[in-house]
């Protein structure tokens, strides 16, 4: 099904046309053209829903890429990838529509914004649809790069650059760890295909590399999804424009780690390490994120920490639900723990709807009042009634209040936590009893910060004097996207069956394929007077009491040492790395060409000398050499004499001419040895080199003889003699001490068969060394672009526009 490849490549290819459209239609907002991309993709993925319902089979397509390394552009559409693809494209369309009102063409470089946004959209689709782990990793890092560009969109702001750099450093570091895990999986399973790894799991699940691979994969997932203690990048990433926050940090990028955990669950689920790490880190993130959200005074900061807490909630459910894959578990227990996975998937969908609404609402408040500071806001309910209604629906859903969709998934979360407390597997009995306690305490803090978002912003006294300008209701176009999401919050809350069978159950079957038949997703608003309901009542009661008395107990936040924060640890590590690199670089980057040549030649002497000793090529017997003719002896003698005369020359021009003489005589030696092609090449290169040297050195002052100290001369002598000995020794032993079979026979036999070329030298350069040549071309191309940018481009002085204009 090649349409899957088209779906991934469409956003990436459309980035080429965005700048052209921006220039061609100066009066049209570029967002209207870009909007067509996510809309078309969303419609395409909606059409795939019937094929995944009721146990439908996954659709796949593959394009060979590097077969020798088992790397192919293989894509798979199953229930899990379909759920994420719908979120990526559906919310992506709403974000683009929202940005048309939020970003002004006159003040912002919107063509760059949409290029970065489409780049991110295509990368996320690649992540969730890839079946090959290496391809998945490539798209994974592309999301980090594109998110860096989006977060740093207002790059003239220090905080924007700081937040973008922090997010990229942390997520890319985790991505490298994840790549190591993928390589270990390949070593054990012999394939990069996720489906083939799952099918052959019994053959390597007991391998010694299994747990290290798991830990490395989880490190990548935890950093991407802002899990404790890697969560520190997410609040700083809120310096991005609100459409970016609504897209990346509520519905897509931060969910990539959750996707990875869900996708790799068929491989690792059922293991004790996986259960405790995923559920434990998730609960810690949930509690810490909700606790920190209450103390924030910036609306976006509140939403940032609330996102961290909600991501922790979903992660903990994925960990709890992994118990369903444990061998030998009873069928009713499997169904109970599979329900936790269903709750994670359902809350993942719900979180995207209510958090996307809240980010857009906060963007409206900031856009209309000029501030996000809760200390300056209040009383906006009468002036912005529609925005208030949207905030009320989304906040109450996040708080877990009926009849909104967040209440349903929060009840399922409580069910999963209670089931985890009964778990007797995986050792450490008794610790699982903390699951419902932590879940309930974190939910209380969640309720409090939800009330803060709504009532601190829209209720209370209107502080007109604290605002930059008089607020009013947002334009209709800016209200439509959050209204659509808020409508989903209500509709899914009242009719959860709309997504239970069509989206959640197929996704659950992809996460737990072996246990899919044991559990069918059924979500209802009322399920009796259960423990979960009493926990919810307790959350609301305690949450209201604590919210109303917030000023009396908020002082507990001052008890934590202000200096002991993860951000300070991060900043301290960067300072240590920066100072250490400056110190180390300063030791060897002295500006002296002599020092640099000493480093290079000393390294060459040490490495080549050590390899010759290690391979024992020096004691391999006396090699047999061909007899030297009279002409060869004469030419070699002249070469030696000319080379010895170079350092004794009285002027630079004489030294250059002697050096050229050595090269020309070498070309004569090639003629004597019947190598006319090498002789011709040597003559051309030597002529060009000598000419360039003469042109460069002609205008320099005369060479002055200076008395150098003895250590200086000894150092030069040691290096020169060492290089001469090593190179001469290598030249002498290569003909008589062959440790490896020659590869020349391979090239002779395969050049035409594999590459279709009769010129073996050309085939080696273009085909067999194709990547080497490609990278050389890329380096030259990047350097050329950098030089062009430095010469031709200048920064314009615009208000946050951050444009690059030709001068």
What is the C-alpha separation between 236 and 227, in angstroms, rounded? 15
Q: Distance between CA 12 and CA 791 in Å, rounded?
A: 28
pLDDT at residue 126, as a whole number:
95
Angstrom distance (rounded) from CA 535 to CA 436: 9
Per-residue pLDDT at 572 exceeds 70: yes
List the structure tokens of 106. Answer: 């006159």
CB 345 within 8 A of CB 412: no
Output the CA–CA distances (angstroms, integers) from residue 361 to 93, 151, 293, 716, in the order listed. Answer: 17, 19, 17, 71
Distance (Å, whole) CA 338 – CA 58 = 20
Higher pLDDT, 94 or 552: 94
Specify the pLDDT at position 623: 59
Q: What is the 3-state secondary structure (H, E, C) of 108-175?
A: CCHHHHHHHHHHHHHHHHHHHHECEHHHHHHHHHHHHHHHHHHHCCCCCCHHHHHHHHHHHHHHHHHH
Query: What pLDDT does 806 receive?
Result: 37
Of 521 and 493, which is predicted with more confidence? Answer: 493
Residue ranges of alpha helices (H) inside 295-379 are: 299-321, 331-369
**Average of per-residue pLDDT across 445-467:** 90
* CB 287 within 8 Å of CB 442: yes
Among residues 52, 12, 86, the alpha carbon closest in space to that of 505 is found at 52
Per-residue pLDDT, averaged over 110-123, amounts to: 94
What per-residue confidence (pLDDT) applies to 801?
44
Average pLDDT of the chain, as a whole number: 88
Indicate the range of 357-366, 775-784, 785-794 predicted with least confidence. 785-794
Distance CA 754, CA 744 (A): 15
pLDDT score of 798 more than 60: no
173-215 pLDDT tens trace: 999 999 999 999 999 999 999 999 999 988 888 899 999 999 9
- The torsion angle over the Cα atoms of residues 166, 171, 173 and 176, rounded to 10 degrees, is -160
User: What is the Cα–Cα distance from 378 to 381, expressed in whole angstroms?
Assistant: 8
In this structure, how many other beta carbons lie within 10 angstroms of the beta carbon of residue 179?
A: 20
Candidate ranges 114-123, 231-240, 647-656, 722-731; pick with highest mean pLDDT:
114-123
* CB count in 10 Å sphere of residue 228: 23
Residue 574: closest CA among 145, 153, 248, 173: 173
Task: Identify the CA nearest to 256 among candidates 343, 143, 150, 130.
Answer: 143
> Could you tell me what percent of the chain has a pLDDT over 90?
53
Q: Report how far apart, in Å, the C-alpha atoms of 241 and of each of 82, 453, 480, 777 are.
A: 28, 19, 18, 36
For residue 75, the number of C-alpha atoms closer than 13 Å in the C-beta half-sphere is 23
> What digits encode the pLDDT tens for the residues 302-346?
999 999 999 999 999 999 988 888 776 767 778 778 889 999 999
CA 759: distance to chain centroid? 42
HSE-CB for 66 with a 13 A CA cutoff: 10
Nearest alpha carbon to residue 361 among 310, 411, 306: 306
417 CB contacts (<8 Å, ≥6 apart)?
Answer: 316, 320, 435, 436, 438, 439
Predicted local distance difference test score (pLDDT) of residue 203:
87
pLDDT of residue 802: 45
SS3 77: strand
Length of the chain equals 807
List all residues 6 or more positions away from 632 whose beta carbon is below 8 Å from its beta carbon. Answer: 669, 672, 673
pLDDT of 800 reads 44
pLDDT tens figures, 609-656: 998 888 777 765 555 667 778 888 899 899 989 988 888 887 788 888
Read off the tokens for 731: 């030249």
CA gap 102, 249 in Å, rounded: 17
Q: What span, in angstroms and rounded, lies between the C-alpha atoms of 421 and 440?
A: 13
Q: How far apart are CA 295 and CA 308, in angstroms?
A: 14
* CB-CB contact of 590 with 599 (8 Å): no
Q: Average pLDDT of 679-690?
A: 88
**Residue 735's pLDDT band (boundaries 50, 70, 90)?**
low
**CB–CB of 446/546 below 8 Å?**
no
Residue 78: burial class (beta carbons within 10 Å; 0-12, 13-18, 19+): buried
pTM: 0.83
Element (H, E) at 66: strand 59-66
Are 230 and 173 in contact, with CB atoms under 8 Å apart? no
Structure tokens at 397: 């859903």
**Across residues 556-578, what is the average pLDDT?**
83
Over range 681-695, report the average pLDDT: 87
Nearby residues of 332 by Cβ (< 8 Å), 6 or more positions away: none
CA atoms within 13 A on the CB side of 35: 15
In this prediction, residue 799 carries a pLDDT of 41
**CA-only gyration radius of the chain, Å:** 33
| pLDDT computed for residue 804 by the predictor | 39
CA 116, CA 151: separation in Å to the nearest integer? 10
CA distance linking residue 102 with residue 104, whole number of Å: 7
Give yes or no for a cis peptide into 229 (omega within 30° of 0). yes
* Cα–Cα dist 23/727, whole Å: 59
Q: What is the pLDDT of residue 488?
A: 96
* 195 alpha-carbon distance from chain centroid: 23
Query: Do the beta carbons of residue 502 and residue 45 sit within 8 Å?
Result: no
pLDDT score recorded for residue 427: 60
Is the separation of the CB atoms in 323 and 329 below 8 Å? yes
Rounded distance, CA 80 to CA 131, Å? 12
Per-residue pLDDT band at 738 (split at 50, 70, 90): low
173 backbone dihedrals φ, ψ, rounded to 5°? -60, -45
Q: Is 616 left (phi over 0), alpha (psi -120 to 50) or beta?
A: left
Alpha carbon distance 106, 28 (integer Å): 11
Confidence at 746, pLDDT banded by 50, 70, 90: confident
Give strand pairing partners of 72.
64
As a three-state string, the secondary structure of 761-774 is: HHHHHHHHCHHHHH
- Rounded Cα gap, residues 461 and 449, in angstroms: 19
Nearest to 321 by CA among 471, 176, 435: 435
> 795 forms bridges with which residues in the sheet?
804
DSSP at 323? G
Residue 526, pLDDT > 50, answer yes
**Secondary structure tally for the chain: helices H, strands E:** 33, 4
What are residue 73's DSSP bridge partners? 63
Residue 53's pLDDT is what? 85
| Nearest one of 241, 221, 234, 409 to 319, comparing CA atoms | 221
- Tell me the C-alpha distance between 492 and 408, whole Å: 9
Measured distance CA(361)–CA(396) in Å, rounded: 14
443: Cβ contacts below 8 Å, ≥ 6 apart: 290, 400, 410, 414, 535, 539
What one-character-per-residue DSSP string does 219-255 give? HHHHHHTT-TTGGGHHHHGGGS-HHHHHHHTTTSGGG
Instruction: Summarize pLDDT for 396-439 with one digit per residue, the tens.
Output: 999 999 999 999 999 999 999 998 888 776 665 567 778 899 99
Model pLDDT, residue 426 = 65
Secondary structure in 3-state letters for 198-217? HHCHHHCCCCCCHHHHHHHH
């Amino acid at each position: 099904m090649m349409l899957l490849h088209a779906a991934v490549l469409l956003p990436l290819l459309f980035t080429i046309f965005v700048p052209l459209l921006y220039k061609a239609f100066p009066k049209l907002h570029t967002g209207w053209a870009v909007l067509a991309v996510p809309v078309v993709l969303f419609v395409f993925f909606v059409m795939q829903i019937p094929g995944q319902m009721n146990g439908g089979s996954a659709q796949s397509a593959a394009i060979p890429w590097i077969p020798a390394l088992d790397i192919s552009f293989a894509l798979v559409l199953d229930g899990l990838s379909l759920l994420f693809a719908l979120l990526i494209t559906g919310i992506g369309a709403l974000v683009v529509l929202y940005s048309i009102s939020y970003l002004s063409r006159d003040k912002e470089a919107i063509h760059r914004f949409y290029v970065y946004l489409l780049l991110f959209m295509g990368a996320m689709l690649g992540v969730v649809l890839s079946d090959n782990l290496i391809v998945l990793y490539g798209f994974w890092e592309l999301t980090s790069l594109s998110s860096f560009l989006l977060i740093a969109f207002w790059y003239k702001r220090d905080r924007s650059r700081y937040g973008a750099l922090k997010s990229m450093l942390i997520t890319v570091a985790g991505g490298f760890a994840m790549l190591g895990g993928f390589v270990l999986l390949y070593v054990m399973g012999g394939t990069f295909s996720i489906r083939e790894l799952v099918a052959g799991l019994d053959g390597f699940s007991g391998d010694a590399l299994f747990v290290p691979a798991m830990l490395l994969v989880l490190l990548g997932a935890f950093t991407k999804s802002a899990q404790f203690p890697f969560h520190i990048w997410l609040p700083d990433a809120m310096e991005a424009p609100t459409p970016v926050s609504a897209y990346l940090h509520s519905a897509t990028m931060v969910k990539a780690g959750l996707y990875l955990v869900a996708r790799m669950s068929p491989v690792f689920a059922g293991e004790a390490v996986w259960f405790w790490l995923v559920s434990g880190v998730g609960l810690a993130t949930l509690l810490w994120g909700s606790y920190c959200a209450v103390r924030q005074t910036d609306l976006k900061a509140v939403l940032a920490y609330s996102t961290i807490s909600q991501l922790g909630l979903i992660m903990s459910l994925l960990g709890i639900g992994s118990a369903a894959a444990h061998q030998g578990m009873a069928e009713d227990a499997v169904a109970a723990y599979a329900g936790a996975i269903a709750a994670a998937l359902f809350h993942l969908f719900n979180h995207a709807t209510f958090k996307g609404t809240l980010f857009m609402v906060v963007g409206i408040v900031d856009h209309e009042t000029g501030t996000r500071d809760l200390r300056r806001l209040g009383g906006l309910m009468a002036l912005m009634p529609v925005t208030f209604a949207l905030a009320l629906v989304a906040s109450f859903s996040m708080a877990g209040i009926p009849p909104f969709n967040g209440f349903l998934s929060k009840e399922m979360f409580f069910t999963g936590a209670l089931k985890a407390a009964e778990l007797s597997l995986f050792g450490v009995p008794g610790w699982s009893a903390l699951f419902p306690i932590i879940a309930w305490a974190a939910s209380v803090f969640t309720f409090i910060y939800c009330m803060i978002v709504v009532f601190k912003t829209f209720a209370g006294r209107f502080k007109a004097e604290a605002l930059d300008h008089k607020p009013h209701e947002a334009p209709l176009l800016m209200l439509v996207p959050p209204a659509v999401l808020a409508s989903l919050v209500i509709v899914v809350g009242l009719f959860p069956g709309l997504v239970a069978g069509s989206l959640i159950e197929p996704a659950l079957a992809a996460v737990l394929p072996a246990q899919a038949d044991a559990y069918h997703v059924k979500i209802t608003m009322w399920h009796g007077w259960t423990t979960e309901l009493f926990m919810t009542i307790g959350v609301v009661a305690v949450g209201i009491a604590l919210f109303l008395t917030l000023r009396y107990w908020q002082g507990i936040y001052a008890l934590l040492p202000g200096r002991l924060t993860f951000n300070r640890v991060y900043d301290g590590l960067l300072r240590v790395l920066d100072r250490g690199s400056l110190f180390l670089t300063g030791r060897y980057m002295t500006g002296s060409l002599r020092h640099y040549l000493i480093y290079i030649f000393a390294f060459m002497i040490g490495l080549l000398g050590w390899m010759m000793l290690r391979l024992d090529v020096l004691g391999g017997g006396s090699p047999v050499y061909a007899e030297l003719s009279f002409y060869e002896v004469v030419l070699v003698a002249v070469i030696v004499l000319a080379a010895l005369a170079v350092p004794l020359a009285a002027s630079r021009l004489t030294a250059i001419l002697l050096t050229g003489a050595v090269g020309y005589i070498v070309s004569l030696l090639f003629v004597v040895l019947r190598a006319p092609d090498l002789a011709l090449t040597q003559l051309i290169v030597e002529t060009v080199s000598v000419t360039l040297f003469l042109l460069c050195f002609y205008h320099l002052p005369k060479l002055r003889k200076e008395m150098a100290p003895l250590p200086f001369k000894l150092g030069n002598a040691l290096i020169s003699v060492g290089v001469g000995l090593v190179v001469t020794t290598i030249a002498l032993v290569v003909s008589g001490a062959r440790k490896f079979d020659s590869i020349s026979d391979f090239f002779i036999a395969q050049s035409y068969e594999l590459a279709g070329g009769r010129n073996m030298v050309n085939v080696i350069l273009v085909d067999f060394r194709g990547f080497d040549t490609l990278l050389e071309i890329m380096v030259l191309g990047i350097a050329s672009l950098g030089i062009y940018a430095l010469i031709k481009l200048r920064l314009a002085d615009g208000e946050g526009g951050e444009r690059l204009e030709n001068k």
